[in-house]
Amino acid sequence: MIGSGFLRVSRQMGLPGWTPAHQERLESRRVFLAGVGGVGGIVAQYLAMGGVRELVLVHEGKLELPDLNRQTLMEVSGLGKSRVAQAASRIGRQVPECQVTAIDARVSPALSSLIASSDLVIDARTNFEERFLLNRLAKLASKPLIFSAMHGMEGIVAYLRPGKGACLECVFPEGDPEWDPLGFSVLGAISGTVGSLAAVLALRFLSGYDWEEEERMTVFEGMDLSTRSFALARNKGCCLCKDSQDERPAQREDVE
């Protein structure tokens, strides 16, 4: 790592306990990120800026004006154009060292090989149909999954291990009907906060920096800036995990 690439990450390499080995791990990692909107766009930017070698970005659809209260990778000039293509182009200009693959599509089994070749899967989608499919594809590929979501003034981030520990269907067995992907309300800054939390979690996992393997969920409340953290465990009634061994009841333990 030399030249501008080194200078870009020099501040994080000054963190107590951050070693060249941590940075080298980031520079060998590939991340599969589903969603490049208000949450996912922030995740993508910080992963690229932190030194992650390769990003596979998946997002279907064109940019609309209401997207611009929160989607920081987008510009007015891109209205009516592919969002994921704009995201890839913007990151390419910001961090030329990062390899970015853009796929304008919904999450589908056709993407299984890309998930299998990635080190981490990040869910920043807006509907549970795609979220649950991504959870199942992560299980098939034995890949860890970071779930990130926001609604109104609330945000949620969780680290999951489908097939090995708690999965998304353990935590949200029926999804959440109040999360309307076509008409949800949100303050743009909440999206940015959730994206930043997910990026911190991802960078720690990918680098191994002060990392402990534990399924965990954090809930952020924008009205009073409070957070709650829960330990998670597999739900013995989960449809996805019921054929796995060592099943345990669902568990959420409050941590101050």
Dihedral class, residue 72 (left if φ above 0, else alpha if ψ from -120 to 50, else beta): alpha
Query: Which position has the higher pLDDT, 182 or 213?
Result: 213
- Tokens 């796929």, residue? 103
- Stretch 145-162: mean pLDDT: 95
Contact indicator for 194, 156 with CB cutoff of 8 Å? yes
The span from the CA of 242 to the CA of 224, in Å, is 38
- Tokens 């953290």, residue? 229
Distances 131 to 4, 29, 121, 125 between C-alpha atoms, Å: 37, 22, 11, 6
The span from the CA of 153 to the CA of 88, in Å, is 28
CA dihedral 76, 223, 210, 88 (to 10 degrees): -10
If one counts every other C-beta atom within 10 angstroms of the C-beta of residue 97, the result is 15
User: Is 80 exceeded by the pLDDT of residue 65?
Assistant: yes
Rg of the chain on CA atoms, in Å: 18
- pLDDT tens column, 3-15: 457 788 999 999 9
SS3 content of the chain, % helix, strand, coil (to 5): 40, 25, 40
Contact indicator for 145, 121 with CB cutoff of 8 Å? yes
pLDDT of 219 reads 97
User: Is 60 exceeded by the pLDDT of residue 102?
Assistant: yes
- Amino acid identity of residue 252, one-letter, is R
pLDDT of 177 reads 55
Question: 3-state DSSP call for residue 171?
Answer: helix
Question: Residue 231 phi/psi, 5° resolution?
Answer: -80, 140
What does pTM read for this prediction?
Answer: 0.91
The span from the CA of 185 to the CA of 192, in Å, is 14
Lowest-confidence region among 57-61, 196-200, 209-213: 209-213
Contact indicator for 77, 105 with CB cutoff of 8 Å? no
Question: 3-state DSSP call for residue 151?
Answer: strand
Question: 3-state DSSP call for residue 215?
Answer: coil
Q: Which domains does the chain have, with CATH numbers?
A: 19-255 (3.40.50.720)
